[in-house]
Structures are given as structure tokens and as C-alpha cells.
Amino acid sequence: MDSTGSAPKAELTRLAIRLEKSLLARVDGYAAAVSAQVPGMTVTRSDAIRALLLRGLPDPATTTATTRTDAPSPGTRPES
């Protein structure tokens, strides 16, 4: 704990990304839904994106290396 009595936070790195408006609306909807489930807690857009990434990304410590056929290759852009 730090001097304020709070648990220390992990060092965070600022990241700028571009999202389609429809995807951003889904992230905001997720944040609102989680905030509504826990009275007094506000989930920010950053909190929501972090939580969604943690849910969606496999943990490399517990995952064997496999290739997903439904995922785009690194460096490619999804078709519009």
C-alpha cells in the first residue's frame, strides 16, 4: 500500500487507438452496463477496453502456441 492506504497501481502506458463509431458505442455500452451492475462504481472507457482485452486475449503463461484461422494476421487490416 502507498501512503494514502491504496494498493499500488501497475504502471500504465498511454495508448492512442482509432475505432469505428459503432465499436466505440459498444465499448461505451459495456462500460455503462458494468457501472449499472455495481452502484457507486463508474467504469471509464479505458477501464472497459482494458477489461475487454483481458477477457479476449489468452494468457501466454497458460496457452500453447496455436494459430487461429478466424483472426487476421498481424499487420493486416480488416476488410471494410
pLDDT at 1 over 70: no
Quote the CA–CA distance of 44 and 26 in Å, as a whole number: 13
Which comes out higher in pLDDT, residue 75 or 41?
41
Whole-angstrom distance, CA of residue 26 vs CA of residue 14:
21
Rounded CA separation 58/33 (Å): 24
CB 8 within 8 A of CB 1: yes
- Give the ranges where the chain is alpha helix by DSSP (H): 21-37, 45-56
Q: Phi first, then psi: what are they for 33, rounded to 5°?
A: -65, -45
Q: Residues 12-68: pLDDT tens digits? A: 899 999 999 999 999 999 999 999 999 999 999 999 999 999 999 998 888 776 655
